[in-house]
Chains A and B, each alone.
Chain A
Amino acid sequence: MGLQITKEQVTAMAPDSSSAKNGQKLSAMKNWQNLGQNEQALWGECRGSAIYQVKVDAATLTATCSCPSRKIPCKHGLGLLFLVASTPDALPTTDPPEWVEAWLTRRAEAAKRKEAAPKKSASVPSQKAVEKRKALVDKGIERLDLWLSDLVRNGLGGADTQPQAFWKSVDDIAKQMVDHQASGLANRLRRLTEIPGSSPDWPKQLLAQCGKLALLSEAYRNIDRLHPALQEDVRQLIGWTLKEDEVLARGEKVADDWFFLGQIQITADRGVTQRTWMIGRQTKRPAMISQFSLNGTAFSQVYPTASVQQAEVVYWPGAAPMRVVLASRNGALQPLTEHLPGTESIDHFLGQVAQILALQPWQDYFLCVLNTVIPFYEHETGHWWIRDAQNKVLPLAKGNYWSLLALSGGYPIDIACEWNGATLTPLGALIEKRYHSIVREGV
């Protein structure tokens, strides 16, 4: 059986809507020649202004094309994937032509070289550099604490009555945190500006977030008294980022069949952060891959949602590890058709959240996989809910979910969401053995 992929998945891989549209246009058979696939790859030659040779790695769906486009994947790569999605039989299983064979050989050799290369020990900065940075961060923490104290001394009400002054003040302190190499704190501070006026209980939320910042600075000041795993979290939250090789060297490795459940994209000042949520079939462990795209550039990796793949992930060190790096992808991508490894009880899920918070109090987002729950809409209030068999409910994030309701038809479904402590943002739902990505609707 060749690669199984849906149009929905391919669309989600496109770097922008115009690429998706152009890719779709190129998916007509008449644009292609010398199509084929084997276990490792799929390929074809696209007839455009010239003939472009397109190859796609079957395990990672990484597309490579001879065209000059800098987009990843380019429209030709997307075109080939759209073609596979719409007409799976269009690519015969055959021996690869020379140009694909050469590409596969190069990739195999590169992989072998990487494997054979002596493992680089995770780069360790000099003691002097560490001391210098620590001093800088310490200074930053002092400024943050001062700013927080000033904020509550003068009253949070100012955030509502003088919003511009508040935004400027937050922006200034966030910039100072960047200058003091505490970018994690800067990001948390910038999120404060979204709170005033966002809901009736915004003062409570603003105070809670300021309180969590204070807790973080307090934890950092007393880091030696914390459990080593939590020390890792605190350092990362402040802004001591880990490089991928460090994660690979120190993190917990977990091999499983990973369900790619969906993605959340958050637009920030300079780019877009993407969180790809996964869950392991056997381990039932949640995992999240975070990617950042700067100024509209493509994300470096493609993770097609609604798929299952055998892979090994490595968790970022921490007290309640969630973020992972995908170390190796070992099998072909398969469509997600089976029961999601979740829980049937909302109370049970909230209990899991409590356990995570007990270990890592600054965790903001959680994967919520619920089985046999019913989505419904309350017309009187305009609210959307998920209800379990015990009639316990959790609200869905602001927006409309008519497609979800239409798909469920009022029957129990399996659903994957991201929980932010207040609302669920649906990622996808498994209905009649088909996983549907759920998009929040405007109407």
Chain B
Amino acid sequence: MNKLITTAIVGTGQIPQPDITTGTPVDTLSQQLSGDIERKLLLTAGVLSNYQQAGQKAPENTVSFSPAPPERLPVFAPASSALETIITNSQKEHFKGLLLDACRQLQAHKLILPFHLMPQVLNPGLTHQNRIQLRYHLAAVLGERGRWLSQFYPEWSWVATYQALHEQDPTTLHTLWQEEGQSFRHEVLRRVRAIEPDTAREWLQTSWNEEKAEARALFVSVLSDQLSEKDLPFLEKAFSDRSARVCGEIAKLLVRIPQTAFARKVYEQAPEFLTIANGTCKIHTLSDIGEPWLTPTKNQPTNATVQLLALVPPRIWEERTGLTPEGIINSAEGTRTMLIEILAAATILHRDVRWSRALLDRFYREDDMDMLRMSSEVVVELCELIPAEEAEAYMERVLTARGFWLYVLPTLPQPWSENLSARILDTVRSQSTQNRFWREQLDLFAAGIAPSYLAQAIETLQQAKEQVKEGYYIESALEKTIEAIQIRKNLIEELP
């Protein structure tokens, strides 16, 4: 065929005596042709093409690969397309959180994702604001088939890694700790710390000198879970770290063990920086704190002071002044925002329930503008210190105060409780014309509303949609949210 093709490419007009033989039995036929060379070439090519197509032999391929192992859990066999819709739309704002929720639902029901949907969740294009969390839950529902499939595409190798996290096999976890990237290693260490606190510390101790400062700061914070005196030798040695950030993290741990020299020093030194006399609180910014890792800078002279004071348990101020938490909060003059910041950080660090209540009480008073400056993340962390029911009662108070909840809702773990969901829907009904509310919070609804309130949420949002007089954007956002909630509801109803 080569000669024939060459002649055809160059053109019979360019070759004095074109050769159109093919070296095949087709030549016998072409020799019988009459007419010009172009016609002969074309007919020969046509016959040869058929000759080759008809005589086509399939090549052999003996590359061996094992089939997927059998699943240990049943595969979810949905009748409707709810799960597929959630996966396909997982990048859309109004579907935010639904894929994670779906994975958790399947995981709770001990089910595996349908096989044909697996490639969609494995694709590297899939992004999520909390990728580690999503991949962790995805790995649990990808089963054996997902792991088998992931071997064919290097970017899917995370499946095996995350599945190892679920299996909690010490050898595998140790390999992951040694080989994976920083954020994943943090996740591994966190999980090991929860089940074997000493092992986690030993791993960290072994690799400590080889880690970068950023990693050291991140990893050492893991020891805050199940912190004990057994951690002291390592922490006290590591406290001489060159990185101020690492020392800052270690200080937060040391100060929680009162018998350490550092804790004692901080408790004793604290009154030098914060004094409360005659009901008035003053914060003194000093040029030398006496801690090499805490050096005030020109640009932010108060930072070091705030950082140090945030290490002091709030009850210390009560003991020293004889004031109630309320009295201490009220005592600040001119530096109230800073004092609240210090007290909130210290409350969270020392997990002080009583102080958490005191701060939340003040936060939810509408007239206290200084309290309002507290970030929503801090509010949520304070809420986490108190019993869930009590925290929800605070949330209810937030919901009644117009606008406040806009700050808090995005930081709450999803799905919300039944009580909170009910209150949120009540608020929607009473504030249905609040444009800002629709714009900023609707995307949280689909994954946030408690499963038992989904039908009510659809009804409520439908009513709100009917009341919208103007604004295509709001109407469209409501419609999308209703659709997403309906799909989540369908999925939940399908689960066994």
Q: Is the CB of B5 within 8 A of A203?
A: yes
Q: Is the CB of B61 within 8 A of A402?
A: no
Interface set, chain B 115-151, CB cutoff 8 A to A: 115-116, 118-119, 122-123, 125, 145, 148-149
Q: How far is the CA of A324 from the CA of B472 in the complex (A)?
A: 49
Binds B, one of A123-131, A178-186, A390-398: A390-398
Cβ–Cβ < 8 Å partners of A361 in chain B? 46, 50
Determine which of B9, B45, B65 lies in contact with A410 in the assembled complex, contact meaning CB atoms within 8 Å: B65
Minimum CB distance partner of B151 in chain A: A379
Q: How far is the CA of A347 from the CA of B13 in the complex (A)?
A: 41
Interface set, chain A 180-219, CB cutoff 8 A to B: 203-204, 207-215, 218
Chain A interface: which size bin? 35 or more
Q: How far is the CA of A208 from the CA of B46 in the complex (A)?
A: 5
Q: Is the CB of B116 within 8 A of A410?
A: no
Given A149-B36, A155-B14 in contact, is the A7-B118 Cβ separation under 8 Å?
A: no
Q: Is the CB of A406 within 8 A of B38?
A: no
Cβ–Cβ < 8 Å partners of A443 in chain B? 119, 123, 125
Minimum CB distance partner of B486 in chain A: A28
Expressed in whole angstroms, the minimum distance between the Cβ of B65 and any Cβ of chain A is: 6
Query: A411 on the interface (CB 8 Å rule)?
Result: yes
Expressed in whole angstroms, the minimum distance between the Cβ of A216 and any Cβ of chain B is: 8
Query: A300 on the interface (CB 8 Å rule)?
Result: no
Cβ–Cβ < 8 Å partners of B10 in chain A? 155, 157
Query: B53 on the interface (CB 8 Å rule)?
Result: yes
Give the number of chain B interface residues (Cβ < 8 Å).
57
Given A149-B39, A203-B5, A421-B53 in contact, is the A211-B45 Cβ separation under 8 Å?
A: yes
Cβ–Cβ < 8 Å partners of B145 in chain A? 406, 409
Q: Is the CB of A409 within 8 A of B56?
A: no
Q: Is the CB of A148 within 8 A of B11?
A: no
Q: Is the CB of A154 within 8 A of B46?
A: no
Query: A385 on the interface (CB 8 Å rule)?
Result: yes
Bitwise, A133-172 to B at CB < 8 A (1) or not (0) is 0000000000001001110111111000000000000000
Q: Is the CB of A207 within 8 A of B119?
A: no
Q: Is the CB of B119 within 8 A of A441?
A: yes
Q: How far is the CA of A405 from the CA of B43 in the complex (A)?
A: 42
Q: How far is the CA of A223 from the CA of B413 in the complex (A)?
A: 78
Query: B68 on the interface (CB 8 Å rule)?
Result: yes
Query: A33 on the interface (CB 8 Å rule)?
Result: no
Query: A328 on the interface (CB 8 Å rule)?
Result: no
Cβ–Cβ < 8 Å partners of A218 in chain B? 43
Query: B1 on the interface (CB 8 Å rule)?
Result: yes
Q: Is the CB of A392 within 8 A of B60?
A: yes
Bitwise, B7-48 to A at CB < 8 A (1) or not (0) is 111111110000000000000000000001011011111111
Given A152-B38, A409-B68 in contact, is the A208-B45 Cβ separation under 8 Å?
A: yes
Query: A357 on the interface (CB 8 Å rule)?
Result: yes
Query: A52 on the interface (CB 8 Å rule)?
Result: no
Interface centre among A28, A379, A409 (most CB of B within 10 A): A409
3 closest cross-chain pairs (CB), A and B: A155-B11, A211-B46, A211-B45
Question: What are 9 A-to-B residue pairs whose CB atoms are below 8 Å?
Answer: A153-B38, A155-B10, A156-B9, A208-B45, A350-B58, A378-B63, A379-B154, A405-B149, A409-B148
User: Could you list which residues of chain B lie within 8 angstroms of chain A, going by C-beta atoms?
Assistant: 1, 4-5, 7-14, 36, 38-39, 41-50, 53-63, 65-68, 79-81, 115-116, 118-119, 122-123, 125, 145, 148-149, 152-154, 483, 486
